[in-house]
Amino acid sequence: MAILAVENLHLRFSTPFGAVYALRGIDFELTKGEILGLVGETGCGKSVTGRSVLRLLDDSARITDGRILFEDRDLLRLPEAAMREIRGRRIAMIFQDPATALNPLFTIGQQINDVLRAHIPGAADARRSRTIELLASVGLPDPAQMVEVYPHQLSGGQQQRAMIALSLAAEPDVIIADEPTTALDVTIQAQILDLLRTLQRKRAISVILITHDLGVVAETCQQVVVLYAGRVVEAGSATAVFANPQHPYTRGLLAALPRPGSRGSELKVIPGSVPSGLERVKGCAFAPRCEHVMERCRVNQPALASLTAAHQAACFLHEASVHG
């Protein structure tokens, strides 16, 4: 059962140089209790998609089309007051760099306290013990003392744990984790992912994990959605996508993934770069970088088509292989 569904999401930024079409029709569903990985290179629109869900975009962004259904309500049409009750309380967010996402001038305790006050009625004492509980649950040492501590006094991993505690404070149903481990050391990354998985299972939370790292997705997610230039190019269950990637872009990403035993020099890199979104794209956005590019790729845009019940891709290649 889908707890959150994004349908045909279009979004554009207005800049002094013209409109940037950042999202050009995103579709996916988050199943309750699952972890969905939203994957792509920088600039593909994955973070924007995450922020769209909570309507945290700045003023230059405009959603031009689409719906975001949460428990059958369209979040895009909710009044701001209702939206505020959803933020933190129903859908929370974890940010990439905890060092900047935590307010440097307030203690961890104060910051969690603010969230609790905003969402959960109760006395100050109750909030304090709840805060300590939360800090304990994310594995921070000496949680009673952590309450008085400022963010800069924590290590990177501890900061991200604190950030996770902050997002869990109001017991949300969905967490959007935007590159939660990118800023951290590799060893810490594993610990944090582990913590996320544990918490997700324990509390039956649904998670959208935004990352550029397919390795992380492989370890953590049940579902995968691969974005390229503001569109979904491939989606499906993690097992299906990893076992049988259909889109050349997904294949490229997988090839670029370091595997145990491989050397850095053998890593394949996808040539070229993501289009800026300034021009309207004609045809497949990946065509200029695609090694299998065909004539029609430059003219028409392939639609997302189901390969199997649990696997879709948007590529004429795969159409060709099915029909040809």
- Taking the complex as a whole, the smallest distance from the CB of residue 101 to other proteins amounts, in Å, to 4
Residues 2-21 that bind other proteins (CB under 8 A): 15-16
Q: Which member of 104, 121, 261, 264 binds other proteins (CB under 8 A)?
A: 104
Q: Pick out residues in 60-79 that bind other proteins (CB under 8 A).
A: 60
- Min dist CB 179 to other proteins, Å, is 11
> Minimum CB separation from other proteins for residue 164, in Å?
12
Binding string, 114-143, against other proteins, x = CB under 8 A?
xx--xx------------------------
Burial of 207-239, coded b for 16+ CB within 10 Å and e otherwise, reads: bbbbbbbbebbbebbebbbbbbbbbbbbbbbbe
The region of 21-29, 80-88, 268-276, 297-305 touching other proteins under the rule CB under 8 A is 80-88
Specify the DSSP class assigned to residue 283: S
Q: Given strand 231-237, what is the order of strands in its sheet?
A: 91-94, 174-178, 206-211, 35-39, 223-228, 231-237, 311-313, 305-308
Q: How far is the CB of 88 from other proteins (least distance, A)?
A: 3
> Pick from 71, 85, 142, 295: which binds other proteins (CB under 8 A)?
85
Residue 168 engages other proteins in binding (rule: CB under 8 A): no
Question: What's the token pair of residue 219?
Answer: 């370890």
Q: Are 187 and 101 in contact (CB under 8 A)?
A: no
Q: Which residue has the tokens 């209702």?
A: 82
- CA 304 to each of CA 42, 49, 170, 313: distance values in angstroms, whole numbers, following the listed order: 21, 18, 36, 5
> What token pair was written down for 180?
């939660």
Residues 7, 206, 147: CA angle, nearest 5 degrees: 125
Q: Quick one: 106 or 242, whose CB is closer to other proteins?
A: 106
- Tell me which stretch binds other proteins (CB under 8 A): 90-98, 122-130, 217-225, 278-286: 90-98
String of DSSP letters for 163-192: HHHHHHTT--SEEEEESTTTTS-HHHHHHH
> What is the per-residue DSSP string for 32-94?
TT-EEEEE--TTSSHHHHHHHHHT---TTEEEEEEEEEETTEEGGGS-HHHHHHHBTTTEEEE
- Give yes or no for residue 167 binding other proteins (CB under 8 A): yes
| DSSP designation for 288 | G
CB 124 within 8 A of CB 116: no
Would you count residue 163 as binding other proteins (CB under 8 A)?
A: yes
CB of 238 to other proteins, least distance (A): 26
Among 8, 62, 105, 271, binds other proteins (CB under 8 A): 105
Is the distance from CB of 20 to CB of 277 less than 8 angstroms?
A: yes
Q: Which position among 169, 210, 232, 240 is part of the footprint of other proteins (CB under 8 A)?
A: 169
Q: Is 242 in the site for other proteins (CB under 8 A)?
A: no
- Please give the residues from 20 up to 59 whose contact with other proteins meets the rule CB under 8 A: 51, 54, 56, 58-59
Compute the least distance from the CB of residue 315 to other proteins, in Å: 34
In the complex, the residues that contact other proteins under the rule CB under 8 A are: 15-16, 51, 54, 56, 58-60, 84-89, 92-93, 95-97, 100-106, 114-115, 118-119, 150, 152-153, 163, 166-167, 169-170
